């Protein structure tokens, strides 16, 4: 025992410690213990404040949840694109119907992994388009002009990876602050074949990929156990001059683990690098299948 080795003197009901060095040591130990008691509770409260339960937590349920949402983005495309070979730019104004008629393949899906108020979000989209038609090119500035047979192939993709935190507002709704990065991939290929001599046709392909940082807000409201609404928006830049999106949707859960989502989304990017221009806006309806655990 430590006390058995400490020289002491008993005076009435008090125990006197004769060794001054030992008194200082015990005083330091007592101070350290007091500090631990004082700081342990505030730190625990601070951690609970940071990682406390979400307004979406259900009593008796796990702190973790996973939501997988394969979806359709019924988007049109507006803006300007670069022609392969650095030969100029073309304006684009295509509805979803126009794009769907030239659609080869597409994929879109969102994954949201939540621990209490913290979320890890991954949102990915890819589409491949192709068309073969006769167009008339203006004379001058292009390797081909007049009536030409144009074969166009285009791949576009973006992926967002973000961390979100539900602010501890103690309201009926959730307000999430999120930050992360968005990756873009664009490949445009084109071949022009003149219908009349001289055969001054040409073919070219341009491929670009880049990253942008983003920051945004997401608002979520559980109307009932079966109905939820959400709205979100973010903005950023990096390799692109501007990168942004906004959207809103409503989700209905006919059963606990499966839901249906419908909404609207607008997403835009302005990227220009060595003659490669991708200044576009995509907007359209969203239809998704929510699978949650």
- pLDDT of 236-260, one tens digit each? 999 999 999 999 999 999 998 999 9
Give the pLDDT band (50/70/90) at residue 271: very high
- Tokens 């001059």 belong to 241
Residue 274 has pLDDT above 50, yes or no: yes
**pLDDT tens digit sequence for 193-225:** 766 655 556 666 778 999 999 999 999 999 998
Map residue 18 onto helix, strand or coil. coil
- Mean pLDDT value of segment 17-35: 54
What's the pLDDT at 203? 66
For 59-167, where are the E strands, in sequence order?
64-82, 89-94, 103-115, 118-137, 146-166
Compare 42 and 127 and report the one with higher pLDDT: 127
What's the pLDDT at 162? 98
Compare 208 and 131 and report the one with higher pLDDT: 208
Most confident of the ranges 22-26, 199-203, 226-230: 226-230
Distance from C-alpha of 209 to C-alpha of 108, rounded to nearest angstrom:
18
Distance of CA 18 to CAs 3, 7, 81, Å? 12, 6, 88
Sign of the torsion angle spanned by Cα atoms 28, 31, 36, 42: negative
| Mean predicted lDDT score pLDDT of the chain | 79
Residues 6+ positions from 13 with CB-CB distance below 8 Å: none
Map residue 3 onto helix, strand or coil. helix
Q: Exposed e or buried b for every residue in 133-165, given b needs 16+ CB within 10 A?
A: eeeebeeeebebeeebebebbbbbbbebebebe
The C-alpha torsion from 83 through 104 and 207 to 266, rounded to 10°, is 80
Every domain of the chain and the residues it spans: 3-49, 55-292
**pLDDT tens digit sequence for 170-186:** 788 999 999 999 999 99
Compare 116 and 251 and report the one with higher pLDDT: 251
**Largest pairwise CA distance in the chain:** 121
Distance from C-alpha of 219 to C-alpha of 164, rounded to nearest angstrom:
11
Q: Is the pTM of this model over 0.75?
A: no
What's the pLDDT at 108? 96
Sign of the torsion angle spanned by Cα atoms 267, 268, 273, 276: positive
What's the pLDDT at 211? 97
What's the pLDDT at 116? 87
DSSP for residue 138:
P
Question: In the CATH scheme, what is the code of domain 55-292?
Answer: 2.40.128.90
What's the pLDDT at 134? 67
């Amino acid at each position: 025992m430590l006390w058995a080795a400490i020289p002491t003197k008993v005076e009435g009901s008090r125990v006197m410690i004769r060794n001054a060095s030992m008194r200082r040591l015990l005083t330091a130990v007592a101070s350290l213990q007091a500090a631990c008691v004082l700081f342990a509770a505030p730190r625990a409260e601070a951690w609970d404040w940071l990682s406390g339960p979400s307004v979406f937590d259900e009593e008796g349920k796990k702190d973790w949840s996973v939501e997988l949402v394969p979806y359709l983005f019924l988007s049109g495309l507006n803006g300007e694109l670069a022609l392969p070979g650095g030969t100029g730019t073309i304006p684009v104004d295509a509805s979803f119907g126009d794009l769907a008629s030239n659609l080869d393949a597409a994929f879109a899906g969102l994954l949201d992994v939540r621990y209490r108020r913290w979320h890890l979000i991954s949102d990915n989209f890819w589409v491949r388009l192709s068309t073969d038609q006769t167009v008339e090119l203006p004379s001058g500035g292009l390797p081909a002009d007049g009536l030409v047979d144009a074969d166009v192939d285009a791949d576009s993709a973006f992926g967002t990876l973000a961390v979100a935190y539900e602010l501890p507002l103690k309201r009926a709704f959730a307000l999430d602050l999120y930050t992360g990065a968005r990756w873009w991939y664009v490949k445009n290929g084109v071949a022009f074949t003149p219908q009349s001599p001289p055969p001054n046709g040409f073919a070219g392909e341009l491929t670009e990929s880049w990253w942008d940082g983003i920051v945004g807000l997401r608002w979520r409201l559980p109307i009932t156990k079966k109905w939820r609404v959400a709205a979100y928006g973010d903005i950023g830049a990096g390799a692109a001059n501007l990168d942004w999106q906004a959207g809103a949707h409503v989700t209905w859960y006919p059963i606990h683990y499966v839901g249906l989502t419908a909404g609207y989304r607008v997403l835009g990017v302005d990227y220009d690098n060595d003659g490669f221009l991708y200044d576009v806006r995509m907007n359209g309806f969203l239809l998704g299948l929510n699978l949650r655990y």
